[in-house]
Amino acid sequence: MSSRVAACPAKLNLGLKVLGKRPDGFHEIATVLQTIALEDRLEAVEASGLSLVCDDPAIPAGATNLVLRAARGFQARVPAAGARGAAFTLVKAIPAGAGLGGGSSDAAGALVLLEALWGVPLSDATRFEIAAELGSDVPFFLRGGRALGEGRGERLTSLPAGPELAIVLGTPPVALSTADVYRELRAPLTPPDAGVTVTRFLVKLAEGNDFARAENDLERAAFTMRPELVAFRDALRRHGAEPALLCGSGSSVFGMFSRSEEASVAATRLRAELPGWAVRVTRTTGLGARLTA
């Protein structure tokens, strides 16, 4: 039976600015996106229909899952795939509700898998159209690396990769809903005419690989909802992280280090200081969702 496997990486937001609310109800943002080497594993085998099994009971495996939605979007766009099926097996390493884009990455991985499994290649335009319909972050995971995200985050401009950096990632035992965080957002929004200035500022940080002045505008809302997140961010800063920021809309918090040894020492101390948090050491990567052996 034919099968394919994909690696689906997590992402960080190395700075995120909320520029205003759009007519469609979403928020206009500018953000620097970066993939990291924390990855889910998604396998697909040919089948008579579409199905998904996941090792994490917190992940819904029904029709609303982004993997299955990606497969249905593929079928809807490509008549030759309409009668094909796939049974997916998802092994999670990226925690859910953590601001790391795991579901979006899995969706991108599903598109990559199905092109190979069904032998039906998509044009770049069609692949990105399907991805954008699934969610704001999905197009980014088809590329990976580092990129400027504008609009809802789906308008992408590739940025220089910079040197590999060590990351300490902390995830509390509670998740945060992106929709809830945006509803809680009370910070004054940047005037639309300042959007160009904000974007240039983020690009300058990324090109210089200097994120010491990076900010995440969603922190105020997320920290109001979950004050314990502040303690982890501040502990990261005490142990030398620069920057230390909320991951997207949370609930994970990350710190960046120039050397892996510094990151490992900080992670050991954080596990002792803040029991109950899952603390991981990982690194930046230039890879997106992709087939593996």
Query: Which tens digits make up the pLDDT trace of 261-278?
Result: 999 999 999 999 999 999
Query: Which tens digits make up the pLDDT trace of 152-195?
Result: 888 999 999 989 999 999 999 988 998 899 888 865 555 555 56
Q: Which of 225-228's residues contact partners 24+ apart within 8 Å by CB, and which partners?
A: 225/176, 225/180, 225/181, 225/184, 226/172, 226/174, 226/176, 226/250, 226/251, 228/172
What is the reported pLDDT for 185? 83
Residue range 48-52: mean pLDDT, rounded: 96
The CATH architecture that domain 3-158+286-292 belongs to is 2-Layer Sandwich (3.30)
Euclidean distance between CA atoms 91 and 172, whole angstroms: 20
The pTM (predicted TM-score) of the whole model is: 0.93
Residue range 1-26: mean pLDDT, rounded: 89
Both structure tokens of 260: 């892996």
Work out the angle at residue 77's Cα, subtended by the Cα atoms of residues 71 and 81, and round it to the nearest 5 degrees: 60
Query: Which tens digits make up the pLDDT trace of 137-149?
Result: 999 999 999 999 9
* Residue 26: pLDDT band with limits 50, 70, 90: confident
What is the reported pLDDT for 83? 86
- Write the CB contacts of 46 (distance below 8 Å, at least 6 apart in sequence): 1, 2, 3, 84, 85, 86, 87, 117, 118
What is the reported pLDDT for 25? 72
Residue range 239-254: mean pLDDT, rounded: 96
The CATH architecture that domain 166-283 belongs to is 2-Layer Sandwich (3.30)
Active site residue 137: yes
Convert 23-43 to b/e letters by CB count within 10 Å (16 or more is b).
eeeebbbbbbbbbbebbbbbb
* Mean pLDDT rounded to a whole number for the chain: 93
Three-state DSSP at 259 gives: coil
% of the chain at pLDDT higher than 70: 96
What is the reported pLDDT for 21? 78
Range ranked top by mean pLDDT from 5-14, 21-30, 153-162, 204-213: 5-14
Three-state DSSP at 68 gives: helix
Q: Is the pLDDT of residue 56 over 90?
A: yes
- Helix axis angle, 260-273 relative to 228-238, nearest 10°? 140
Q: In the chain, where does the domain assigned CATH 3.30.230.10 lie?
A: 3-158+286-292
Torsion 227-104-146-192 (CA) sign: negative
Euclidean distance between CA atoms 149 and 254, whole angstroms: 19
- Backbone phi, then psi, for 150, in 5-degree steps? -125, 175
Active site residue 11: yes
Q: Is the pLDDT of residue 293 over 90?
A: no
Euclidean distance between CA atoms 147 and 124, whole angstroms: 17
Euclidean distance between CA atoms 170 and 280, whole angstroms: 6
Name the catalytic one among 40, 106, 137, 217. Answer: 137
Q: In the chain, where does the domain assigned CATH 3.30.70.890 lie?
A: 166-283
Name the catalytic one among 11, 17, 40, 106. Answer: 11
